[in-house]
Amino acid sequence: MSRPTPLRVDDDELALLTDLYQLTMTQAYWQEAMNEVATFSLFFRRLPPQRRFMLACGQQHAAEVASRLRFTDGALGRLASVDHFETGFLDWLANWRFEGEIWTLPEGTPVFANEPLLEVDAPIAQAQLLESLVMNLVQLETVLASKAVRIVMAARGRPVVDFGMRRMHGVDAAVRGVRAYRTAGLSGTSNVLGGLRHDLALNGTMAHSYVLAHDSEREAFHAFAHYYPQTTLLVDTHDTLAGIRQVIDLMRDAPEVRVSAIRLDSGDLGELAKGARALLDEAGHEDIKIVASSGLDEQAIEALLEDGAPIDAFGVGTQMGVAADAPVIDLSYKLVEYAGTPRVKHSTGKINLPGRKQVYRRQDATGHYGGDVIATRDEAIDAATPLLVPCVEGGRPVPEAMALADTARERVAQALTHLPATLRRLDHGETGYPVALSAALERQVARD
């Protein structure tokens, strides 16, 4: 029998969560005594066609993790078993720590192609070693928040609850995903550990199994409503409208039973919601809300609400849990400067922006985002706000730059009010949102 495989990644294993070449390149830098300051830039070249913007999330958390990354004796012992590393290098790694700067977009900032989400300035052997872990951490939250915010927009102010834990990719995604959902503006989650850790309200109803385990639907409803006053009852186990009549009859016959909502989880949700609303209103239960779930995404929610479906809240799982229509964003972490000289890979057909950068965002007279300028780090651009802020300096987190969860959530809520209409649309297509290069950056590109 195989020894039980742990599910846990301990803090002292995090430094090993990297690609082998980061360590072999770093050993080469050490051997070559290459220790000039490098700048690496984290960005994506193209928006997925299914997205009109991405919400940059996780980068301040990733910077904080980077600032406390260490190679423990345990980790070094395991590296010694890999046939690539010299004792002198492992001794050097024992004292390795990140001592540079990390500039980031604040979490919850809408971001577009070629804009840095994060830039790292540090001796090359420090900056190189962050690559794989930082990319993994930033991608997860960025991909999930960017999907979730579309669902929040589609719901037009109605609560959206995360039901996705069972569909997410493993334990860390399930827990940390709730952090991204909170930032994106979800109202609650069914995920107990995720909600407790990241302070998002816990919501839950009941499953079909509960109804089936009882001798009748009525008996199941009666028991559950008795134990959980003001609960939500799942009405579609056998026949949805008949299930709603059961709820109405039960409330008539057992006045102690009070229900706050019913949940629809299969069938034509729009038609069933209308039928449910009519039955409930006719019985005088205008106060009972209708919750819908079952394979929902932003398009389905938009279509339901366009059609006037009287749905008060949405539970969303499968499509949001893995951001199924765009589960990956092709982030790059590219060397853009070394020893004071801008450097980039010259690839045909790809924009590569050399040197340290800043992103400026303009707002038009109505307060809407009017366009961005990617500039060199130290430029000033008139009438525009610089977005990248230093959040690690001298290897230490800058307290006032680190995202409080509430701040990031508030930032997203604010950003949604500033997005121009073309960015708020949920269909696929070109946004026309202007992202220009500053004159100084243009010169740097031309010179390079």
Residues 347-386 that bind a copy of itself (CB under 8 A): 347-348
**Residue placing its CB nearer to a copy of itself in the complex, 62 or 155:** 62
User: Counting contacts by CB under 8 A, is residue 209 touching a copy of itself?
Assistant: yes
Interface pattern 295-324 for a copy of itself (x via CB under 8 A): -----------------------xx-xxxx
Closest CA to 185 of 213, 150, 211: 150
Tell me: does residue 132 bind a copy of itself (CB under 8 A): yes
Instruction: Name the minimum Å distance from CB 299 to a copy of itself.
Output: 16
**Tokens describing residue 86:** 């010299």
| Closer residue to a copy of itself, CB minimum distance, 21 or 271 | 21
Residue from 150, 334, 356, 361 touching a copy of itself (CB under 8 A): that is 334
Residue 165 as a binder of a copy of itself (CB under 8 A): the answer is yes
In the complex, minimum distance from the CB of residue 235 to a copy of itself, in angstroms, rounded to a whole number: 12
Binding-site residue total for a copy of itself (CB under 8 A)? 118
Cβ closest to a copy of itself, residue 224 vs residue 369? 224
Q: What whole-number distance in Å separates Cα of residue 369 and Cα of residue 418? A: 6
Question: What is the layout of strands, in order, in the sheet containing 357-363?
Answer: 385-386, 357-363, 369-376, 435-437
Q: Are 288 and 262 in contact (CB under 8 A)?
A: yes
**Which 87-116 positions form the footprint of a copy of itself (CB under 8 A)?**
none
Lookup: tokens for 64 = 């904080």
Residues 439, 333 contacting (CB under 8 angstroms): no
Give phi and psi for 348, each to the nearest 5: -65, 135
Least CB distance to a copy of itself at residue 200 (A): 12
- 388-447: contacts with a copy of itself (CB under 8 A): 397, 399-400, 402-405
Provide, rounded to whole angstroms, the least separation between the CB of residue 368 and a copy of itself.
30
* CA atoms of 64 and 133, how far apart (whole Å): 12
d(CA 315, CA 396): 40
Q: Which amino acid does the sequence have at 134?
A: V
Which of 46, 97, 238, 424 binds a copy of itself (CB under 8 A)? It is: 238
Which residue, 13 or 312, has its beta carbon nearer to a copy of itself? Answer: 13
Q: Supply the minimum distance, in Å, between the C-beta of residue 14 and a copy of itself.
A: 7
Q: Which of 49, 74, 80, 82 binds a copy of itself (CB under 8 A)?
A: 82
Q: Whose Cβ is closer to a copy of itself: residue 110's or residue 342's?
A: 342
Does 20 interact with a copy of itself (rule: CB under 8 A)?
yes
First to last CA, the chain: 58
How many angstroms separate the CA atoms of 138 and 66, rounded? 12
* Number of residues written out for the chain: 448
Tell me which residues in 139-158 interact with a copy of itself (CB under 8 A). 139-140, 143
Q: Which stretch binds a copy of itself (CB under 8 A): 2-10, 298-306, 424-432, 437-445?
A: 2-10
Query: What distance in Å separates the CA atoms of residue 202 and residue 192, rounded to the nearest whole number?
Result: 6
Q: Where are the beta strands (DSSP E) in 343-410?
A: 357-363, 369-376, 385-386, 389-393, 396-397
Query: Using CB under 8 A, which of 33, 87, 95, 227 touches a copy of itself?
Result: 227
Residue selected from 50, 72, 136, 260 as contacting a copy of itself according to rule CB under 8 A = 136
Alpha carbon 206 to its chain's center: 27
Token digits of residue 223: 């028991």
Note whether 124 binds a copy of itself by CB under 8 A.
yes
Residue 218 vs 362, nearer CB to a copy of itself: 218
Closest residue by Cα to residue 321 from 177, 149, 179, 108: 177
Nearer to a copy of itself among residue 325 and residue 379 (C-beta): 325
Binding flags for a copy of itself, 49-78, as an x/- string (CB under 8 A) = ------------x--xx--x---------x
CA–CA gap between residue 27 and residue 93 (Å, rounded): 9
CA–CA dist 253, 225 (Å, integer): 13
